[in-house]
Amino acid sequence: MVPKERILFHEPMSRHTTFRVGGEAECLIMVEQEAELTSLISYLHQIEEEYFILGNGSNLLVGDKGYRGVVLKLAGPMEEIQIEGTVIRAGAGALLSRVAAAAKEAGLSGMEFAAGIPGSIGGGVVMNAGAYGGEMKQIVRSVRCLDQDGTISILDQDAMAFGYRTSAIKNRPIVALEVMLQLAEGNAEEIGAKMEELAVMRRSKQPLEFPSAGSTFKRPEGYYAGKLIMEAGMRGYRIGGAQVSEKHCGFIVNTGNATATDIREVIEEVQERVEERFHVSLEPEIIFLGDF
């Protein structure tokens, strides 16, 4: 189904996640064509083999004992970006930052908020990624999807049922293949200036100097996760190499030698302390994969 040079056994997942931690995947396959992905998913489903679709690994914590399944990492042509007028077509593996940069170069406005989000556009639509008042649901026109039996369907914005960090295809065996974005005509210089303004804000408020998965927790209704964590006395709290960021308490960072277990234990301790102090349940944005 794919050339053997793109099939990697016992591949360290620390190479494929923004946390820079994680044990080995039993098998990781670099998938460059939709036909390959369709065949692989159908086959893996048929033999009842567990699999995981990987973009940029920006919202993922893989256990230190690794993942006993097949990781399908989108690469090559599945990262392509095409622009037709005010519409952008992007393969699910394309980085949000690259799509935002392409939009700026084409003088298309509406995606400035996504320029600093370190994920792929496929993952971005699955979880309705957002920042600084913008969300994917504001610009997504449709998503071409693949289910386990090989059926391809196109879901428009309404059918995607976007919500806060969720969508109709989250937690379902459906894979985003390609995203169509509807943007607006704008001025490239003004778009670039807005992107730089947001980048300055990110650098001043977020611990970008350390590996992390971005914002660790979803925003609980009526609260801000970072503020609750700070007021619970957790700023700078650490286990091993994992730490609640001193710069922004909503981030848990790898200070250099963290294990996945360190990070998970910090997450769990933060949840426990906030629950005890404020009776608020913090839900992680992060996906936990494999054995810890």
What amino acid is encoded at 8 in this protein? L
Q: Which one is catalytic: 24, 215, 245, 264? A: 215
A 10 A CB-CB count for 189 gives 10
Which residue of the set 165, 167, 212, 245 is catalytic?
165
DSSP the chain: ---GGGEEEEEEGGGSSTT----EEEEEEEE-SHHHHHHHHHHHHHTT--EEEESS-TTEEE-TT-EEEEEEEE-GGGG-EEEETTEEEEETTSBHHHHHHHHHHTTEES-GGGTT--SBHHHHHHTT-EETTEEGGGTEEEEEEEETTS-EEEEEHHHHT-BTTB-TTTTSSEEEEEEEEE-EE--HHHHHHHHHHHHHHHHHHS-TTS-EEEE-BPPPTTS-HHHHHHHTT-TT-EETTEEE-SS-TTEEEE-SS--HHHHHHHHHHHHHHHHHHH--PPPBSSEEES--
Which tokens belong to 194? 């807005």
Structure tokens at 171: 């937690």
The angle formed by the CA atoms of residues 66, 269 and 212, to the nearest 5 degrees, is: 55
Residue 277: active-site member: no
Is 165 noted as a catalytic residue in this protein? yes
Q: Is 246 a catalytic residue?
A: no
CA atoms of 130 and 248, how far apart (whole Å): 17
Q: How far is CA 163 from CA 125, 157, 170, in A?
A: 11, 11, 11
Q: Which are the catalytic amino acids?
A: 165, 215, 285
